[in-house]
């Protein structure tokens, strides 16, 4: 989405060429491949651990840090560090690309002479920025928080926000830019909550 917004704002006349179906398929393929490689790396790292004691994961899904807490042995701390490095590298790498695209976008927006034009152009990015900020805020809290006495409930709640809430929120936020959807929601609320006129 960051690249899409970058192309739409910085190269609007070449948008159809730069964001062709082939380019979109490549972007999706690279994203899936990158996520799969990262997931495989973390899985392979965790498979080398020894687990002892409880087999109950204090989480609603098999979250890697909850799984690492069940591990025992000498290599546990080095494996945990490796997992953290892989996760933080992926998180920060994607964030870097998003920030870079928005640096170019903001530079292009600032060159627009009218305030109305700047506002209209920037408003096309607000939905994507909202999703990015919500996702990265909660994911950063999970992965970058210092070690210490944190309740399992707060960790589960934070993970829920970026694994469940953000994917649920994305279509809602992106759909609210659609005028037909806004009008349909408005009509639905008016029918439901306004008294019938006779």
* pLDDT, tens digit (0-9, with 9 covering 90-100), for 79-100: 888 888 887 888 888 889 999 9
CA-atom Rg of the chain in angstroms: 22
pLDDT of residue 198: 42
Distance CA(118)–CA(11), nearest Å, equals: 15
Distance CA(195)–CA(120), nearest Å, equals: 36
pLDDT of residue 148: 61
Nearest partner of 91 among 141, 151, 50, judged by Cα: 141
Token output for 52:
């002892």
The pLDDT tens digits for 149-192 are 555 566 667 777 777 777 787 777 777 666 777 777 788 878 87
pLDDT of residue 105: 92
All structural domains of the chain with their residue ranges:
1-114
Distance CA(179)–CA(106), nearest Å, equals: 25
Distance CA(77)–CA(58), nearest Å, equals: 19
Q: What is the pTM of this model?
A: 0.71
């Amino acid at each position: 989405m960051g690249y899409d917004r970058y192309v739409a704002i910085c190269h609007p006349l070449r948008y159809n060429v730069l964001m062709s179906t082939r380019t979109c398929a490549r972007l999706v393929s690279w994203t899936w491949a990158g996520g799969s490689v990262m997931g495989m790396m973390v899985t392979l790292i965790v498979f080398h651990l020894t687990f002892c004691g409880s087999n109950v994961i204090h989480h609603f899904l098999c979250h890697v840090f909850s799984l690492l807490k069940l591990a025992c042995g000498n290599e546990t701390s080095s494996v945990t560090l490796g997992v953290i490095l892989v996760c933080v590298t992926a998180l920060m790498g994607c964030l870097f690309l998003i920030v870079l695209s928005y640096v170019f976008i903001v530079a292009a927006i600032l060159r627009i002479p009218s305030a109305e034009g700047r506002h209209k152009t920037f408003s096309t990015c607000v939905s994507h920025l909202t999703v990015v900020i919500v996702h990265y805020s909660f994911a950063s809290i999970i992965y970058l928080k210092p070690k210490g006495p944190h309740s399992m409930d707060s960790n589960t709640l934070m993970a829920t926000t970026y694994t469940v809430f953000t994917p649920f929120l994305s279509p809602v936020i992106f759909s609210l830019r659609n005028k037909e959807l806004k009008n349909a929601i408005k009509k639905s609320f008016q029918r439901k909550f306004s008294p019938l006129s006779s």
